[in-house]
Amino acid sequence: MKRHYFLGLAAGRKVGAAKQLFTIGRKKHLVALEKALSKRYDGTAILCKNGRSGLAIALGSYFEKGDGIIVNGFTCYAVVEAIEAAGCVPVYADITKEDLNFNVATLKKLVDKSVKGIIIQNTLGNPVDIVEIEKFAKKNKLLIIEDLAHCAGVRYPDKREVGTVGVATVLSFGKDKSIDTTSGGAVVLRDARDWTILASPRLCDSARARWYPTLAAWCRGLARLHLCGALMRLFVKLHFVEKSADNKLDTSRRCTKWQAKLALEQIKDLRRTGEGKIRDYCLVNERDKCLKELKKAGYHFDGFWYERPVSPERYYKKVNFPEKECPVATEVAAQIINMPRYYPRTKLEKARKIIKSYLVEEEK
């Protein structure tokens, strides 16, 4: 019997669908999560509806409208949405193929009087050279915000934990993130600020998040009947499931109590060794052909990050991405295949053999 593996239906694997469905949260879990984040990242924690809402709060706290914010040229629309919601302007920095991050050489080309900040995302859990970037930021009076969606628990090369360097730290608890409760997030600010207590989440948002791992498990179970994709599309159409990129930014609401409880458990278990990468990646030729071969073998890798420099595809035209100024990010987006680390390596051994025959020349 062929086993099927889905990258795009990963939520709930860290806590289990049943646990997420039946976990009961209390106000004490909200308070405990705030305290845990405040202590870990040395600031004031605010629980949010999702990561992009937390990022918008951070940007609105430290920057003025019209300020330029340097962002990784290989990222998701949620980051761009948050920048624009704060009235700032995204400035895309090209990346390297070695770690999918920008470096100081790239940053030097982008700094002008309008640029005031840098968002560091440590793509897929690969840490940037924080020492050099921090020196550059201080020299040019740029503020750093750290986005931990990919990298909570990772350590920089100088052994500092990610999230302890900038003026603000943003966490996402979204699907397939370092901390995964389907949605939710937080922001930690390093200076005291007055904040209105965020309202409770809408019941429909809470229900969708709670049920998603169960619905995803049902879809995976129907893979042999080739009904997985059709069923998930039906759930989306009926609004039982919300695509990650469509989780609306809302700075007036927080995550749920049960999400706080699950997030708190995961944060306590974060690795302290610096080996917190959430995905491995490689670059291939003829990616569509490679994906089809993988699918025949039972590997459904359509959910890889990212198929465009700013994903998902349906939002790409909105961002006016400067492909000529970011040629590496544009090339990588057309070649990348990545695999989550929540599967045992042995389960992906056949996939790796298939991918090996498509690797770009420099990766062989």
Instruction: Tell whether 184 and 285 lie within a shared domain.
Output: no
Asked if residue 198 belongs to a domain, the reply is no
Please check whether residue 100 lies inside any domain of the structure.
yes
Query: Model confidence at 232, in pLDDT bands (50, 70, 90)?
Result: confident
Select from 189, 212, 234 the last residue of a domain.
189
- If asked whether residues 36 and 183 sit together in one domain, one would say yes
Residue 206 maps to a domain:
no
What is the rounded average pLDDT for all residues in the chain? 89
Q: Using the predicted structure, report yes or no on whether residue 8 has a pLDDT greater than 60.
A: no
178 falls within a domain:
yes
333 inside domain: yes
**Residue 27 or residue 231, greater confidence:** 27
Question: Average pLDDT in the 200-204 region?
Answer: 92
Asked if residue 266 belongs to a domain, the reply is: no
Give the end of a domain, one of 189, 220, 245.
189
Q: Which long-range contacts (CB under 8 A, 24 or more apart) does 339-345 make?
A: 339/7, 339/279, 339/280, 339/281, 339/301, 340/7, 340/10, 340/176, 340/278, 340/279, 341/277, 341/278, 341/279, 341/280, 342/10, 342/13, 342/14, 343/5
Higher-scoring residue by pLDDT: 20, 226: 20
Model pLDDT for residues 163-180, shown as the tens digit of each residue: 999 999 999 999 889 999
Q: Is pLDDT at 10 greater than 80 in this prediction?
A: no
Domain with 349 in it: 279-363
Domain-ending residue, one of 159, 189, 219 = 189
Q: How confident is the model at residue 223 (pLDDT cuts 50, 70, 90)?
A: low
Q: What pLDDT does 364 receive?
A: 41
Count of domains forming the chain: 2
pLDDT score recorded for residue 28: 97
Q: What is the pTM of this model?
A: 0.92
DSSP secondary structure letter of residue 259 = H
| 274 occurs within a structural domain | no
Q: Of all helices (H) and strands (E), which one includes residue 40? A: helix 27-41
pLDDT at 298: 84
* Residues 65 and 180 occupy one common structural domain: yes
User: What does the pLDDT read at residue 1?
Assistant: 46
Residue 195 within a domain: no
Residue 25 belongs to domain with CATH number: 3.40.640.10
Question: Tens digit of pLDDT for each residue in 47-94?
Answer: 999 999 999 999 999 999 999 999 999 999 999 999 999 999 999 999
Q: Do residue 184 and residue 323 come from a single domain? A: no
